Structure 1
Amino acid sequence: MEHLDSSNLSAQEPVKKRPAKLFHKKSRTGCQRCRARRVKCDEAKPICSHCTRLELACIYDRAKSPSDSKRSSPSASNEAEVIADPPESEARRKLELRLFHHFMSEAGPSLAVDDISYNFWVPILTKKALESNSLLYALCMVSALHSALFSENTDEEAADTCRMYLNMAIREHHKDVAEMSRENIDYICLTSSMLRLYGYVRLQERSLQPYTPPIDWLRMLGSSTSVFRRAWDIVDKDPESVAFNMINTVADYLDDNENEEFRRDLMHLMSREEPHELEESWDDEIEAGYAGALGLIGGIWKSMQKRDPAGSVGRRVIVFPMLVHKRFADLVVEQRPRALVILAHYFALLSMLRSMWWIGDAGSREVRAIVDAVPPEWQGHLSWPKQILDGQIVFG
């Protein structure tokens, strides 16, 4: 995008608390809460004394074995951890009520960028969550994430709650997807959207040394694409369907990857003149994968330049990983330099939405890591992403 001017976009640096570190190793004995808080658990059943005092859900997810007391090697802590559902109890009910209230009053509204998204995230989602376990658990997971960022909860408490409800949401979501129908399609699409949001939060904390592309993130969003495509066939343009209305909000962007006008100012990224560019593998499918990604990125940029509403721009940015050709995703996985350069342009645009708490500095982290990873001969194509980061540009 060296040919595009970013001077008409304002620069500002939002004040933002860093998200809690939600993924870390924990001690091996006692209930989940005590292990997370690194305190000694008295292992009272059904609720230990610490969880009783703090009114927390007490979860024993590891059965003791005779050899437990004999294990002392470092490898013991690397065993796979199974996170069990919390038992039905007063503590669990209070926890879920707190999470539900926090979502309705704070977390849900914070996800909305306009009236359209507010309607999905708050009144519709909270009502549907009372009808669906997968959606209720996803709501609790997102509420815990938001609470970790904006409240005084400890990292350990947030991590424990987040992992617990994420595990439960994914399990129930898989059950729903396996039996997709008109009856559960709204729950499936709403839950899928919550899980995509979680994927962006994970981007903010993933390790970047040595750099590897965010393959899990790409695959997760790619799988949600197939869900929405199947959903579109099921809802059959039913105006009463939440799934139909969700998909309809992005219908205008679905052909951006074929839009030649959108990618016109980015065609220098398709150049095949220099020796290192000519050495690449190249065929019609590869060319289409790159061109499609540039069409989507160009559509986002033109939307920003026109000062389109923040909701419209945000939706374009979020659906990008869902709409790129599978071949482009494969090229990213293979760490082709050209694919990484194009991906850096997307992440530069994502960095401009960092005021959204669930996006944060995910985009800027990825751009800087790609700049460090791309060979010197490709660095010239990274000047625009670096310019966006250097200018601290924020859209919205």
Structure 2
Amino acid sequence: MPGAVTTTEKGASRKLRAHKKSRRGCGNCKLRAVKCDESRPVCKRCKAYGVVCNYDRKSPDLELSTKGSNGVFQVSIINNSTPPSVPKSIAPSLKQGLAASLASHASRSLNNFEFELLHRFQTRTVFTVTTPRSLPVYESSILKHACSHPYLLHAVLTLTLLHDRHFSPTPFDTSLSTIEAHQWGQCISLYNRALSSPILPASRDALWVTAAFLGILAIAHVDARTPEESWPYAPPSPMDLNWLRMSDGKKEIWKDGKAFMQESDFRILALELRGNYAPGLTFGSEEGLKALPPDFLAYFDLLEGSDLVENPYTAPVFSLAQTWKILSMFNIILNFIFCITNMESRYKLLLAQKDPRALLLLAYWWRMIADTQHWHMFRRAIIECQSICLYLEREYREDHALQSLLTFPKGVRCFSGI
């Protein structure tokens, strides 16, 4: 192609270099419409994407790789154990039902790429969204319910796409891809339509899991590229705290707690959360409020003898105290999930009003969540933790007690790309 000529504002001209296409790239890069670096035997994009590089046309497209850089399948899992060496894939008997699920509301069925996404969900992503005890239920039930509830199927596809991004060369890109936006939009549209009708017992599990996945998506996707662009430092936006509002969906669906405990496929998770958070509010032990530093408790007016009932910070501070000395990534995340799903409306209101103590408390939580480095939480944890610290430094610089307590959240670890 001859060099095209362009003229700048100053009148100078220069030649534009012809774009060099990758003609010997692997099949996966061509399918995904991205430039292949043609490295052999594995190109960089396939290695980052977690698939087997296929220069040979006879090799399958987007086949999940079982090897990472050290020869072991790599996943960001919610506990410190490793997944089974040969994870379950999509049962052949489910494929027809999954294809029919989309065909029931659209003029198309699942394509090969979407089946590959479902395969990656079942062999990788599912390990990162539940607890070890509940994992067998998630493995056996999620895709089963997706066969008859298209909104859940779209939620699974969207979640897997965002997890794919975590392994991509640009994991912290803030913009949604076309396919991510489409799948997410379809999920919300169909989900809202289902909620507008009477909820039947056969749909409750699918609706509950979809609500849970939408909550994960709301936390995982962060528009802000810097702390200055994030809530609470940035100017107010309708999207502020949207990740917190999403946690209300599960409670609305499961208002009948008795039915949840007796009939749901996922009742084991409810039992686990209930059993994980049983201690009472006490001061006199390292497991109670006393686990936190005295100056921290004093700032929240939670010294011994204080009125715990009327204080709006009592429950969230106690949740933090229960987690303060925990080293297990799994228990930190589980306690945080319990905290936000059971958060009182009066504390949510304080967060929305950017109350300094409410913000400080959330910053402490985000610091601990960031340290877990769990894929769908740590980016928001880092960005919002830093943003809260910037906001409190700017707006409350004369509050010396507050500034002193910011030392812990300001120590949040930064990662490349954030």
* Match runs of 1:115-264 below 5 Å: 115-151=132-168, 159-178=177-196, 179-203=198-222, 205=224, 208-209=227-228, 212-213=231-232, 214-221=240-247, 223-224=248-249, 226-227=251-252, 229-235=254-260, 237-238=261-262, 241-253=264-276, 258=281, 262-264=288-290
Q: Does 1:271 align with 2:302?
A: no
Structure 1 equivalent of residue 349 of structure 2: 330
Instruction: State the distance in 1 between where 2:160 and 2:229 align.
Output: 32
- Of 358, 361, 379, 2:403 maps to 379
Measured after TM superposition, the shift of residue 188 of structure 1 is 1.5
Measured after TM superposition, the shift of residue 330 of structure 1 is 0.6
Bigger relative contact order, structure 1 or 2, given CA contacts below 8 A and separation 6+? Answer: 1
* Aligned CA distance change for structure 1 residues 385 and 96 (closer, same or farther; 3 Å): same
Which of structures 1 and 2 has the bigger CA Rg? 2
Measured after TM superposition, the shift of residue 337 of structure 1 is 0.9
SS at match of 2:221: helix
Measured after TM superposition, the shift of residue 285 of structure 1 is 9.5
Measured after TM superposition, the shift of residue 345 of structure 1 is 0.8
* Match runs of 1:16-31 below 5 Å: none
Instruction: State the distance in 2 between where 1:285 and 1:246 align.
Output: 29
* Aligned CA distance change for structure 1 residues 172 and 284 (closer, same or farther; 3 Å): farther
Letter in 2 for 1:381: L
Letter in 2 for 1:150: F
* RMSD over aligned Cα atoms: 3.7
Structure 1 equivalent of residue 362 of structure 2: 343
TM-score by length of 1: 0.63
Pairs aligned (count): 293
* Match runs of 1:33-182 below 5 Å: 88-89=107-108, 92-111=110-129, 114-151=131-168, 159-178=177-196, 179-182=198-201
- Of 384, 394, 398, 1:366 maps to 384
Measured after TM superposition, the shift of residue 297 of structure 1 is 1.1
Counting helix residues as a fraction of each chain, which structure ranks higher?
1
Do the aligned partners of 1:225 and 1:323 also contact (CA within 8 Å) in 2? no
Instruction: State the distance in 2 between where 1:256 and 1:225 align.
Output: 24
Instruction: State the distance in 2 between where 1:149 and 1:197 align.
Output: 14
Measured after TM superposition, the shift of residue 232 of structure 1 is 2.0
* Aligned CA distance change for structure 1 residues 225 and 110 (closer, same or farther; 3 Å): closer
Instruction: State the distance in 1 between where 2:307 and 2:228 align.
Output: 33
* Aligned CA distance change for structure 1 residues 153 and 250 (closer, same or farther; 3 Å): same
Measured after TM superposition, the shift of residue 105 of structure 1 is 2.4
Do the aligned partners of 1:204 and 1:365 also contact (CA within 8 Å) in 2? no
Measured after TM superposition, the shift of residue 334 of structure 1 is 0.5
Do the aligned partners of 1:147 and 1:153 also contact (CA within 8 Å) in 2? no
* Aligned CA distance change for structure 1 residues 89 and 171 (closer, same or farther; 3 Å): closer
SS at match of 1:292: helix
Do the aligned partners of 1:204 and 1:359 also contact (CA within 8 Å) in 2? no
Do the aligned partners of 2:137 and 2:266 also contact (CA within 8 Å) in 1? no
Instruction: State the distance in 2 between where 1:353 and 1:227 align.
Output: 29
Letter in 2 for 1:215: L
Instruction: State the distance in 1 between where 2:330 and 2:217 align.
Output: 19
Structure 2 equivalent of residue 45 of structure 1: none
Instruction: State the distance in 1 between where 2:175 and 2:360 align.
Output: 38
Structure 2 portions without partners, runs of 5+? 1-32, 34-60, 62-103, 233-239
